[in-house]
Chains A and B, each alone.
Chain A
Amino acid sequence: MELVFEKHSAASGAANVPDPGPEAEALVPPELRRAAPPALPELSELDVVRHYLALSRRQVGVDSVFYPLGSCTMKYNPKLCEEAARLPGFARLHPHAPDELCQGMLALLWNLEQRLCEICGMDAFTLAPMAGAQGEWTGLLLVRAYHRARNDARTEVLVPDSAHGTNPASAAMAGFEVRAVASNDDGEVDLAALRNAVGPKTAALMLTNPNTLGLFETRIKEIAAVLHQAGALLYYDGATLNAICGVARPGDMGFDIVHVNVHKTFATPHGGGGPGAGPVGVKARIAPFLPAPRIVREGERFARAEASPQSIGRVGAFGGNAGILIRAYAYLAMLGREGVTRVAQHAVLAARYLAARLAPDFPSAYDRPCMHEFVATPSAAILGKGVKTLDIAKRLIDCGFHPPTVYFPMIVHEALMVEPTETETKERLDAFVAAMHVIAAEALATPEKLKAAPENAPVGRVDEVKAARELVLTYDMAR
């Protein structure tokens, strides 16, 4: 389809903006004046709307199809939450407005912090981080500040080899050296390897639980003890919180710092890649290091306070992605106590059911009960035909499904990581199983059909090699 730069109409959106006249621009001194105007589109408003509507038809989201993207928790995004964030009292609220005039907003954020504390078993939360990875970075700066305050300059962060790439990347950005810890044959952290790796230089271990294989770390309390005995902290990557929220709490497992991805567990939309929010919770002894602003309650009044002198500082210009946090608050308010637990139960049930139904063609990588997601691989017979996980993913597109996460975690060969979430019906789960079964049969009979997939998408298989070799990152680079 055409790019917006390839369309033109004499009428343009400028018609809606009053012209302040030439005398305004004359206020710009000649040496500061832009020589030629930027080449922005010139289209009527209707043509712009048509262009973007056409784009939206070339895109799928959770609202379009089943989207079992492992490690991303692609659950339904309730529409009331969208409405709530758009209420003028929130949407038109300037972040520098005086606290006295935004008590509703501050009350909401304060209450959200309290609820996250309760769900995670933590003593204090900050809502400032703007995504999961920023939460990790914030958390690791907290780790650094905590040890420094004790005159204990620890330099290493341990990360399991199955971890999300953000874990080592965040640790590096926070100034730590990263050491990988191997997983054992059960897919859990290898305790012997962990004991060997932990020492006086260890600042923290970053862990998801359930881990990225969808397996619960059953020896989590032993893991916590190993870290704590060595004077190190235990960091919880909340990417998989949907499996346990309302059932078990990271704080009770021995985690000292957590981040939660509200765009995963708390149903805020993923936005085509963002924005999300990554609130960070801590145990009391780490609370003095939290970033500004802190939301405080004084009787019935709420206020934004500067952080303590020990704080790591600020992690963003304002107090976080408030527009996203409003959605999370509304979602939690609807779920309530029983609803939160039910979410985890149904998410795990759906995954366990899918894992069992898919096993004949796509056996799980680990023969253990999964939590809210699982990692499978194509059967030996399928791989024997030269069919790759990527081919299966592309064929699923033809069947009307968004593919699962592929090739992650890296420790599983040809991985397919499936996370159905609690918001899909049994009929939909069964339809997915049926489609995967058909694809498995095709893989054996007509593997070339999978190699040629997708057939029914807006475009055929996209040449990513050409994209990287012949970089075209703007329309001007194409010409």
Chain B
Amino acid sequence: MSTIPEELRYTREHEWVRVDGDVATVGITDFAQSQLGEIIYVELPPVGRAVAARAVIAVVESVKAASDVYAPVGGEVIESNAKLIEEPGGLNRSPYGDGWLVKLRVANPAEAEALLAPDAYAAIAKE
């Protein structure tokens, strides 16, 4: 069973987001990393890039799959998790912790409220 922390919001494409003030931290869920298998490469956006909600912000690759990561909310990239470039396996070990992908300064923090609650996401990630 994959874990789905209560305090986060989710998307149908298996991203999670945590909003602190005007900063949104984005990653992929435990379910997503387990489906992909061992992560070998992460492509991250440069700091300063403006992204619209639902635009591709990162690519996560395993040996046999490449998965686009979409921005759950719009904003400006303020940090990318450079540690994952060195050691992409961190994403497998700690998808909600050290394995975060991108931090965004969000224009409208309320956008995250419209995303999936944990129980709604759990229904999607069941199969």
Contacts and interface: CB of A to CB of B under 8 A. Distances in A.
Interface of A: 407, 464-465, 468-469
Contacts of B64: 407
A469 B42 CA distance: 11
13 contacts: A407-B64, A464-B63, A465-B38, A465-B40, A465-B63, A468-B40, A468-B41, A468-B61, A468-B63, A469-B40, A469-B41, A469-B88, A469-B89
A464 B38 CA distance: 10
A270 B13 CA distance: 39
A161 to B, nearest CB: 15
B63 to A, nearest CB: 5
Contacts of A407: 64
B30 to A, nearest CB: 19
Nearest to B63: A464
A464 B41 CA distance: 13
A373 B38 CA distance: 31
> Which of B40, B61, B88, B89 has the most chain A CB atoms closer than 10 A to its own CB?
B40
Given A464-B63, A469-B41, 11 more contacts: A407-B64, A465-B38, A465-B40, A465-B63, A468-B40, A468-B41, A468-B61, A468-B63, A469-B40, A469-B88, A469-B89
A63 B61 CA distance: 36
Contacts of A469: 40-41, 88-89
Interface string B96-113: 000000000000000000
Contacts of A468: 40-41, 61, 63
A465 B36 CA distance: 12
A465 B64 CA distance: 10
A473 to B, nearest CB: 14
A465 B91 CA distance: 14
Of all A-B residue pairs in the complex, the 7 with the closest CB atoms, nearest first, are: A468-B40, A465-B38, A464-B63, A469-B40, A468-B63, A465-B63, A465-B40
A169 B31 CA distance: 29
Contacts of B61: 468
Contacts of B38: 465
A469 B88 CA distance: 8
Contacts of B89: 469
Nearest to A468: B40
Nearest to B40: A468
Contacts of A464: 63
Interface string B76-98: 00000000000011000000000
Nearest to B88: A469
A462 to B, nearest CB: 11
B86 to A, nearest CB: 10
Nearest to B38: A465
A290 to B, nearest CB: 35
B27 to A, nearest CB: 20
> Which of A407, A464, A465 has the most chain B CB atoms closer than 10 A to its own CB?
A465
A464 B88 CA distance: 15
Nearest to A410: B65
A468 B63 CA distance: 7
Contacts of A465: 38, 40, 63
Interface string B21-46: 00000000000000000101100000
A160 B127 CA distance: 24
Nearest to A470: B40
A469 B61 CA distance: 11
Contacts of B88: 469
A403 to B, nearest CB: 15
B28 to A, nearest CB: 18
A469 B63 CA distance: 9
A464 B62 CA distance: 10
A468 B41 CA distance: 8
A469 B91 CA distance: 13
A232 B63 CA distance: 37
A465 B61 CA distance: 11
A100 B121 CA distance: 72
A217 to B, nearest CB: 28
A384 to B, nearest CB: 15
A446 B120 CA distance: 38
A19 B40 CA distance: 49
Interface in B46-68: 61, 63-64
A64 to B, nearest CB: 26
Contacts of B40: 465, 468-469
A465 B92 CA distance: 13
A407 B61 CA distance: 17
A468 B38 CA distance: 10
A469 B89 CA distance: 9
